[in-house]
């Protein structure tokens, strides 16, 4: 089968991972390489981590990069789970310079994961309102109406119990508070009920690393009207979506 490869990098609050992506199959073309997100996660330090991941494969073509925050025109506008130095930083220029002038496309991490799931995963062929929610260091969101992305929704920052929802219901909250699957599932359910009240989606896709263990918590979530599915691409969705965005940007030039 023909291969069409672009490199994708997924920057997270705890790790930076990447691989070349086969965009015909919508899957990684090689085993991903991961480095820890530096602390503090300043732009220069994270850019070094991205370079390490890309250099590991000797990649010399376009690169798509996800970022855990709002991204407009290659500039990162928020930085809830990384260093505040990212706010209003031209991330596309920084990363392109660090990668020796390679063309770089930057987008929100959950948006990237959502685009991948809508094309190759749990959302493929689905109309109506579809919401992908990624549970990890924070909670990311991607909203689609009849397959079209509404970018940079950042619904992990909705207020729940007087706090950012992600402080209460993220995978990091589960780990930090040593919550059982049952206890954490109740928190996730309250969050989903809140989001459902506001948006009435037809489908929730649950992504992030915890989607690998969907059987441990999704059956515990009750009384949600929307269909509830785990992400098919699991924690590789961001890498695949980043590569898709880079290919689309290359085609637009």
Domains defined along the chain, listed by start: 5-108+236-252 (3.30.420.40), 122-231 (3.30.420.40)
The per-residue pLDDT for 251 is 73
- Does 2 have pLDDT greater than 60? no
Between CA 79 and CA 88, with CA 82 as vertex, the angle to 5 degrees is 35
Question: Contact 15/251 with Cβ under 8 angstroms?
Answer: no
Prior bond of 40 cis (ω within 30°): yes
Give me the chain's average pLDDT, please: 96
Summarize pLDDT for 134-180 with one digit per residue, the tens: 999 999 999 999 999 999 999 999 999 899 999 999 999 999 999 99
Reported pTM: 0.95
Mean pLDDT on 98-124:
98
C-alpha distances out from residue 81 to 13, 41, 87, 127, 174, Å: 6, 9, 11, 32, 16
The per-residue pLDDT for 48 is 98
With tokens 């509830």, the residue in question is 228
Summarize pLDDT for 12-40 with one digit per residue, the tens: 989 999 999 999 999 999 999 999 999 99
Maximal C-alpha separation, the chain:
52
């Amino acid at each position: 089968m023909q291969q069409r490869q672009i490199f994708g990098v997924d920057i997270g609050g705890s790790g930076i991972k990447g691989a070349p992506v086969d965009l015909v199959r919508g899957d990684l073309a090689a085993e991903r390489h991961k480095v820890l997100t530096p602390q503090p996660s300043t732009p220069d330090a994270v850019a070094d981590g991205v370079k390490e991941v890309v250099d590991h494969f000797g990649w010399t073509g376009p690169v798509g990069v996800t970022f855990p925050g709002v991204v407009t025109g290659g500039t990162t506008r928020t930085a809830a789970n990384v260093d505040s130095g990212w706010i209003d930083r031209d991330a596309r220029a920084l990363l392109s310079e660090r990668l020796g002038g390679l063309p770089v496309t930057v987008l929100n991490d959950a948006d990237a994961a959502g685009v991948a799931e809508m094309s190759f995963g749990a959302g493929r062929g689905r109309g109506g309102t579809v919401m992908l929610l990624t549970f990890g260091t924070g909670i990311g969101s991607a909203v689609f109406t009849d397959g079209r992305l509404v970018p940079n929704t950042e619904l992990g920052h909705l207020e729940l119990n007087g706090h950012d929802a992600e402080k209460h219901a993220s995978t990091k909250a589960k780990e930090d508070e040593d919550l059982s699957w049952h206890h954490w599932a109740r928190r996730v359910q309250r969050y989903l009920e809140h989001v459902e009240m506001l948006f009435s989606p037809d489908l929730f896709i649950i992504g992030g690393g915890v989607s690998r263990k969907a059987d441990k918590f999704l059956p515990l979530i009750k009384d949600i009207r929307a269909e509830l599915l785990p992400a098919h691409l699991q924690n590789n969705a961001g890498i695949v979506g980043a590569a898709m965005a880079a290919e689309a940007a290359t085609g637009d030039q």
